[in-house]
Structure 1
Amino acid sequence: MASSSSSSLTNSPCAACKFLRRKCQPECVFAPYFPPDQPQKFANVHKVFGASNVTKLLNELHPHQREDAVNSLAYEADMRLRDPVYGCVGVISLLQHQLRQLQMDLTYAKSELSKYQNHGLLAAAAAAATIHHHNHQINLIGGMNLSSRPDQHHYHPHHQQQLMRRRSLDVANNYDASNSSLLVAAGTMNAQFQHQQPRAAAGDDRRTPIHPS
């Protein structure tokens, strides 16, 4: 089925000969570039340039140049039918204008990007200088504290917290020890008082008898 269709296309005249109503010869210059299934392509080229002019142009070119020439003629003919005044020149001018606009936009974008990059570098340099200044001040203050406290050469906030906790525990232990001592002393005094109280009572009972005169 495919071979019969291809043979029918091969035996049928090209679009140019069919349009011109002539017999398509084996050496037809239009046949390789205007197949039978593209009749509108040759119709546009013939309407704009003329079949005789196209034949003369193709005969003056080398065979490997004819395909590009036919494609260019077909594109020019299509654009000329759409825009009889400018043709493809109008499309080329529009594309060139868009290209210039894109180049201007690209140049402006590069300029703005360079400004932001320079601004970012300056800001980073200023931030680094500020951090360096603050670190230098902190080191100076830390050196002064260490020189004023020779017993704390490895001063650190965590060490300070541990030292405060130890002091709190020492105070609590001292408080508990003092309370225990007071309780022991109080218990001792109470025991002594209770031990001496019966003796006092017994001494009160031994009274000197009163003899009548």
Structure 2
Amino acid sequence: MKKTQTSHHDHHPHPHPHPHHEPRSSSSCAACKLLKRRCGPNCIFAPYFRADEPNKFAKVHKVFGASNVGKILNEVPEEHREDAVNSLTYEAEARLRDPVYGCLGPISYLYRRMAQLQHDLALARARLARYAAEGGGGYGGGGSGSGCYNGGGYESIHECLPVMWNGFQSEGSNSNCSQLMNSVSPNSGCNGGDFGQAPLLPL
């Protein structure tokens, strides 16, 4: 009587698949899809790099690297991670647009613009105070040479501004407005909001 020989494969009819070939979940985040790895439930990238935003992680990965981004997120408190990802995304996009200066270019421009606006605002306030002090009755102060808020009993220029405007309207003409606008150079750039080129009135 012959014994039935069993093959070695009969004991393992279903070999375990290689872990690298395990199918990924359909809900994998953009980071795990790009890195071709399984997206686990504790994936640190999943809340911030959704599957429908593949370019977002691709830019961050190209500039900073996935491992560095993961380290940054692990070091940042969870309530601030979204802000950190937004900052990394902005810096990555700026670096890809301008490989030399990156985000330093627009930041420097905004600082210069802010300084210019502060300078323009100081000039405008000084000019407005000068107009109010020299306005007299023509600006609604009530009497010649009385000034708007000093002679009219107002404590600040901000309280006086509506009175000045009512004074312009009540006279039924644009004489005061014309006089005021003629004191400013036509090339001062007021239409663009830039008062820096307008000459200051003599003190």
Q: TM-score range by the shorter chain?
A: 0.5 to 0.7
If the length of structure 2 is used for normalisation, what is the TM-score?
0.54
Q: Matches of residues 102-181 of structure 1 in structure 2 within 5 Å?
A: 102-121=117-136, 125-126=143-144
Please give the alpha-carbon distance, in whole angstroms, between the structure 2 residues aligned to 1:104 and 1:56.
Answer: 42
Contact 2:56 / 2:89 at 8 angstroms: preserved in 1? yes
Higher helix share: 1
1:43 alignment partner, one of 58, 83, 103: 58
The Cα of 1:90 is off from its aligned counterpart by: 1.1
Counterpart in the other structure of 1:26: 41
Structure exhibiting the larger radius of gyration computed from Cα positions: 1
Match of 1:91 in 2: 106
Cα distance between partner residues in 2 of 1:87 and 1:127: 57
Residue 37 of structure 1 deviates from its aligned partner by 0.4
Q: Hey, what does 2:75 align to over in structure 1?
A: 60
Aligned length: 119
Distance in 1, Cα, partners of 2:55 & 2:98? 17
Distance (Å, rounded) in 1 between the aligned partners of 2:65 and 2:97: 18
Structure 1: state its 5+ residue gaps.
Answer: 1-9, 129-213
**5+ unaligned residues in a row in structure 2: which ranges?**
1-24, 147-203
| 1:3 alignment partner in structure 2 | none
Output the aligned Cα RMSD.
2.0
Aligned partner of residue 101 in structure 2, secondary structure: coil
Deviations 1:56-110 (A, max 9, x none): 1111222212111111101110111111111111111111111111111111111
Identical-pair percentage: 57
Deviation at 1:111, TM superposition (A): 1.2
Moved over 4 A (4+): 122-128
> CA offset at residue 26 of structure 1?
1.1
